[in-house]
Amino acid sequence: MSSSEGSKWVSRCVFGSPPNLSELDELAVLYHEQAARNTRDYVRSWICPDCRKEYKPIQNMLVDLPPFSCDDCGLKNDAAYEWRITQCLINGVSLDFKVYDQNRKPHCTLYSVAATIDATRRVEGAKKGLIISTPLDVPEMAKTYEQVTGFELGKEPPEELFETYDNCSLIMEVVKAHGISFLLGEYDTLLQNKCVDLPPIPRLRIKSYFRVDRNNVLLITRLLASGYPLTAGMLHGTLYWYLKGDQYYYAPKCATTADAHAITLIRSGLASKNNMPETFYSARDSHGTKSHPDHKMRDFGADFFLWGM
């Protein structure tokens, strides 16, 4: 295959634009009263100690965030906070969602995309007061991806991928074009096999998706606080497998792409990293509920912390 043909999948990728800050402000105004969480109370105004300028909390749909930094001198607000999407309710509907298990297959991106879609559907449904939780058939998504692209999922040739490592955009293009099938129970499958007249099972469709610059921490934290869970890539080493749910992961800086792992960001906060205020995220892993056990949750795991920068 020539190099011009080599990147045909990447050249087909159409990224939408993320909601901008004023759109996030608008969402906050629309849904402020319908979202319930236990963190709003302690988010206060902040006065920059150098400039004496006062900053109000940043209002978002799910949760208000402390002012990020001073516009004039750039000083970071060091007030610690944390919250997570999975603890929030909109119109009384919980936004917690399924933990997937990729079962040792190199399918993390697809599972993380499924988790992100699950969480997004929950938020969209909850805005209307509905619980939307029909499970997605991820193994079927993997099959469709491999048929459509001709690649083995998780083992694509690097030159075929976005920036040579990212298969997420390819997955999103396939999902956009072919939809995702819902997971059927045994009874539904039996019915489908018996009655040829039944209409085909509806597939979930996606209109668009967007990418965010990982350095834009303010936008990322505001997107999360506005009910946009995000699929993210990280590097991991051996210690990752021993990481507990209440520990912060210091991801290795240099590693091969074979150590890249996709996760779903569901939370943000601010804590001290080497005595400096630093934003952290919480991620939901797709290695089942036994990964990253959390003693507070009786060893029910899958979520862990990682630093924003």
Cα→Cα distances 123→19, 51, 86, 88, 114, Å: 15, 39, 10, 10, 14
Beta carbons of 41 and 75 less than 8 angstroms apart: no
**Interface pick for Zn ion out of 27, 35, 43, 70 (rule CB under 5 A):** 70
Q: Is 51 a binder of Zn ion (CB under 5 A)? A: yes
Q: At closest approach, how far in Å is the CB of 27 from Zn ion?
A: 28
Residue 53 Cβ, how far from Zn ion at the closest point, in Å?
A: 6
Q: Which of 207, 19, 32 lies closest to 117 in space, CA to CA?
A: 207
Q: Nearer Cβ to Zn ion, position 55 or 307?
A: 55
The three-state secondary structure class of 301 is coil
Q: Which is nearer to Zn ion, 35 or 70 (CB)?
A: 70
Q: What is the CA 40 to chain-centroid distance, rounded?
A: 22
Burial of 231 (0-12, 13-18, 19+ CB in 10 A): buried
Q: Which stretch binds Zn ion (CB under 5 A): 5-13, 62-70, 123-131, 176-184?
A: 62-70
Distance CA 258, CA 12 (A): 25
For Zn ion, which residue of 12, 17, 38, 50 counts as binding (CB under 5 A)?
A: 50
Return d(Cα 224, Cα 24) in angstroms, integer. Answer: 10
* Closer by beta carbon to Zn ion, 1 or else 276: 276
Site stretch for Zn ion (CB under 5 A), options 70-78, 134-142, 244-252, 271-279: 70-78
What does the radius of gyration of the chain's CA atoms come to, in whole angstroms? 21
The Cα–Cα gap between 86 and 267 comes to 8
* 54: contact with Zn ion by CB under 5 A: no
Residue of minimal Cβ distance to Zn ion = 70
CB of 71 to Zn ion, least distance (A): 8
Candidates 72, 152, 188, 299; binder of Zn ion (CB under 5 A) is 72
What minimum distance in Å lies between the beta carbon of 57 and Zn ion?
A: 17
Would you say 50 or 54 has its CB closer to Zn ion?
50
Closer to Zn ion by Cβ: residue 69 or 91: 69
Binding residues (CB under 5 A) for Zn ion: these are 48, 50-51, 70, 72-73, 75
